[in-house]
Amino acid sequence: MLYTQIDQAMNDRNAEAWEDLLHDEFEFVRHQSGTSMNKQEVVAMMRQFMASEGVQEHSRRCVYENDDILVTHAIMDFSDNTRESVIAVYTKKDGKLVRSETGATPMKR
């Protein structure tokens, strides 16, 4: 299952290990803007997040995972002093993550 590998990559702030979990056709759907990001764009964003002490993820957990889908939840703190509750739904293809959609709810710190 992929959650354990995602969890380890995030704990280690290892962008290369995280990138290795993504399918070449990976797409991240951004509901807030109505746009999407491809694998290269997402990897660049994750490298910035992982390199920044201002971006922290708390209480990460796997809600559900099988061979086709992974659902996670976490609390995210960002460098602009905002906090969000984030649920992510990943679709799998060929044993890798091929699509991600998230829902984020602003929270008080």
Averaged pLDDT, groups of 10, the chain, 109 residues long: 94 93 95 87 91 88 97 94 94 97 89
Task: Give 4-55 as a DSSP string.
Answer: HHHHHHHHHT-HHHHHTTEEEEEEEEETTTTEEEEHHHHHHHHHHHHH-TT-
**Amino acid 50: pLDDT:** 87
Provide the domain limits for residue 33.
3-107
Q: Which residue has the tokens 């959609």?
A: 101
Overall pTM surpassing 0.85 (yes/no): yes
**Amino acid 75: pLDDT:** 96
**Residues 70, 76, 79, 82, CA torsion sign:** positive
> In CATH, what number is assigned to the domain containing residue 103?
3.10.450.50
- The number of domains in the chain is 1
Task: Tell me the residue length of the chain.
Answer: 109
Q: Which residue has the tokens 């201002």?
A: 54
**Amino acid 28: pLDDT:** 95
**Amino acid 99: pLDDT:** 97
